[in-house]
Structure 1
Amino acid sequence: MVIETYNLTKKFNGKGGFENISLSVKEGEVFSFLGKNGAGKSTFIRTLLGILYPTSGGGVILKKPLGDVNTRKKIGYLPELFQYHNWLTGYELLFNHGLLYKMNKKDIKRRIEEVLDIVGLKGHEHKKIKEYSKGMKQRIGLGCAILSDPELLFLDEPTSALDPVGRKQVRDIIFKLKKEGKTIFLNTHLLSEVELVSDRVAILDKGIMKKVGTMKELMNSPVVLSIGNLNEEIINKLKVFDPTLKKVENEIEMSVYNDDTLPKIAECIVKNNGLLYMMKRKENVLEELFIKTVGEEDSR
């Protein structure tokens, strides 16, 4: 495991933060922490990085205790709402970050060329940061985070201030890094981003981890069927596939864990004189799960 925590807790004078989080993150996966603003997501990342000291519990990153100085060389971090020096060019910013990582100048120059290609900023590296769009600033921030070619990358709300084009650009970078075998820990409150990039997800609410699992485990979208000539015989036959199915007028909602079952369901309906007008997976299941888990009240 790349990350393991055991009842990790961080409180501020007994308030806020998070408590008793035990989780593990595998090598090469995108693990997303999903929660409303104020849920404790950023505090959790800062505690993993050793920026904050835990109140209790513990953890291991890359087989070393939290806060291990040498381990930090293998970690990249993009903070939320970061601000870089506007008077620097993109190249100067990356070069200075390389010096902070204690890389030699030859390696910095070589790596900058690779990073500019990854984040799609070749040709813009000599512009000043103040001339960059929001999307370009976010991508240069990602460039700083991956400059040392880290094994583990922490991204804190990397797309929250971006338009759809900017979000797609950042997503594409995440996919590239995943293909390279990087492990990515992502904090976000954007459900669409989680669905598109994540291997596993944890839902955090008021500092408590409520759910954790793969996207398939968490979402398991019900199938919605629109059926003409719906009768009791069809319903009873369908209950073989899901005894807890729901009927609303001419529609049936049922849990189907394996898509190979869908043709059998269709055949069952037709054989019993039903007319199958629609069969589809229910949409917005993650949103429904998220709201059900954390509620609809304002965040802290």
Structure 2
Amino acid sequence: MELAIETINLTKIYGNKIGCTDVCLRVPRGQIFGFLGPNGAGKSTLVKMLVGLLYPTSGQARLLGYPLNNIEIKGKIGFLPENFRYHDWLTLRELLEFHSKLYKLSSSKRSKQINAVIDTVGLTGKEHQKIRTFSKGMQQRAGLACALLSDPELIFLDEPTSALDPLGRMEVRRILLQLKDTGTTVFLNSHLLSEVEMVCDTVAFIKGGRILRQDSLEQLQSGEIAVELMLSGINDIVKLALSNIALSLTIDGDIVTAFVNNEDDIPRLAEAVIKSGAHLYEMTRKRSSLEETFIELTGGVDH
């Protein structure tokens, strides 16, 4: 498996305070990777070390196969910090022109790449509008455009949707999935669990500067599936029919919760209810949510 990020016991100590300690991560290329933890857990510290804004106290890391101190890697990564502030008196195109020069893009490539990132973030037609007139969602997309100018293979996003309304978050999710489709690896540092659950392939949890767990989202949400059925006419025949399919049942009035091993059992539950002569009014599939896993691992949820 080719890795975009690999860290080995990466540690940052601020005097007597631990930023993060002995962090070991393996992030495959081409994935959207979610990095989760409460405020002050060490998420931003790790990101800043990986992008070169902080020097590690100890440990090692490689990005796209290169060590952190390799200059060549800087042109292959993008970064959108959490509290970015851009020159709001500039137009979008002027801002991107400025950043393209910082990336040392050639004049022949500059215009083409600027047009490409404006299209990617959905700001076509806003090129000559000043940044100060942009909504928060538009400013966030402008920041993403800056981070994408070098056509990075790996991009770090530090809380990219925390200040956005639902429509803004949806637009950012669209962009993240589009980046993944083009092969870009996305490192998403976030405390918005529902957002991570919608887009990420793999997640890691951190608390107190230490990694608690790293796993695929699919693996984290595997296990028994709870299916809640709202019925009328529950009798012993219905109970027996459901028990032949489910691992276990709980019944509370007209609500039956059946626990099954796999999704193929769900339509069988509905069929069993109908064949037994009961009436099925509602059926809801449930799985362990990312929020439940977060609470279990960290001892609390951070909204």
TM-score (norm 2): 0.87
3-state SS in 2 of match to 1:111: helix
**Deviating more after overlay: 254-263 vs 133-142:** 254-263
1:287 aligned residue: 291
Question: Structure 2: how far apart are the matches of 1:207 and 1:255?
Answer: 36
How far apart in 2 are the matches of 1:298 and 1:142?
25
Shift of 1:187: 0.8
The structure-2 alpha-carbon separation of the partners of 1:297 and 1:156, relative to structure 1 and needing over 3 Å to count, comes to: closer
Is the contact made by 2:35 and 2:188 (CA closer than 8 Å) also made in structure 1? yes
CA distance in 1, matches of 2:253, 2:221: 25
Whole-Å Cα distance in 1 between the matches of residues 60 and 256 of structure 2? 47
1:262 Cα shift?
A: 1.5
Query: 1:258 aligned to 262, 272, 283, which one?
Result: 262
Q: Which secondary structure state, in structure 2, belongs to the residue aligned with residue 222 of structure 1?
A: strand
Q: Distance in 1 between matches of 2:245 and 2:6?
A: 38
Q: Is this contact kept in 2: 1:234–1:268, CA < 8 A?
A: yes
Tell me if structure 2 keeps the 8 A contact 1:157–1:189: yes
Task: Identify if the C-alpha distance between structure 1 residues 253 and 68 changes in structure 2 by more than 3 Å, giving closer, same or farther.
Answer: farther
Aligned to 1:217: 219
Alpha-carbon separation, structure 2, partners of 1:43 and 1:138: 21
Query: Which is further off, 5-14 or 248-257?
Result: 248-257
More displaced stretch, 96-105 vs 8-17: 8-17
What's 1:153 paired with? 155
Compute the displacement of 1:287 (Å): 2.3
Residue 264 of structure 2: SS of its match in structure 1?
helix
Shift of 1:38: 1.7
Q: Does 1:203 align with 2:222?
A: no
| Equivalent position of 1:96 in the other structure | 98
Shift of 1:24: 1.3
After superposing the two structures, state which structure 1 stretch, 140-149 or 23-32, moved more: 23-32
C-alpha distance 198-298 of structure 1, shift in aligned 2 (>3 A)? closer
- The amino acid of 1:151's aligned partner reads E
The C-alpha deviation readout for 1:94-119, integer Å capped at 9, x for no partner, is 11111111111221111111111111
Query: How many residues get paired?
Result: 299
Query: Alignment partner of 2:260: what SS?
Result: coil
Unaligned runs of 5+ in 1: none
Check the 8 A contact 1:51/1:67 in 2, yes or no.
no
Identity %: 47
Partner AA of 1:258 in structure 2: N
Q: Which amino acid aligns with 2:294?
A: F
Determine helix, strand or coil for the equivalent of 2:144.
helix
Q: CA deviation at 1:230?
A: 4.5
Contact 1:49 1:67 in 2 (8 A): no
Taking structure 1 as the reference length, what is the TM-score of the superposition? 0.88
Check conservation: 2:39, 2:302, Cα contact below 8 A. Answer: no
| 1: CA distance, partners of 2:249 / 2:49 | 44
CA pair 76-298 structure 1, distance change in 2 beyond 3 A:
closer
For residue 53 of structure 1, what is the amino acid of its counterpart? Y
- When structure 1 is superposed on structure 2, of 26-35 and 219-228 the one drifting more is 219-228
CA distance in 2, matches of 1:252, 1:67: 58
Q: Give the direction of change, closer, same or farther, for the CA distance of 1:67–1:134 in structure 2 (3 Å limit).
A: same
Matches within 5 A, 1:1-300: 1-220=3-222, 222-230=226-234, 238=242, 243=247, 246-270=250-274, 275-282=279-286, 285-296=289-300
CA distance in 1, matches of 2:265, 2:17: 49
Deviation at 1:206, TM superposition (A): 2.6
The 1-side partners of 2:95 and 2:60 are apart by: 34
**Secondary structure at 1:259's aligned position in 2?**
coil
Q: Quote the Cα distance in structure 1 between the aligned partners of 2:302 and 2:31.
A: 31
Q: Distance in 2 between matches of 1:232 and 1:255?
A: 18
1:131/1:266 CA distance change after superposition, 3 Å: closer
What's the CA shift for 1:61? 0.9
Residue by residue over 1:37-69, the C-alpha shift from the partner in whole angstroms, topping out at 9 and shown as x without a partner, is 222111111112222222333221101112322
Runs of at least 5 residues in structure 2 that lack an aligned partner in the other structure: none
- After superposing the two structures, state which structure 1 stretch, 99-108 or 2-11, moved more: 2-11
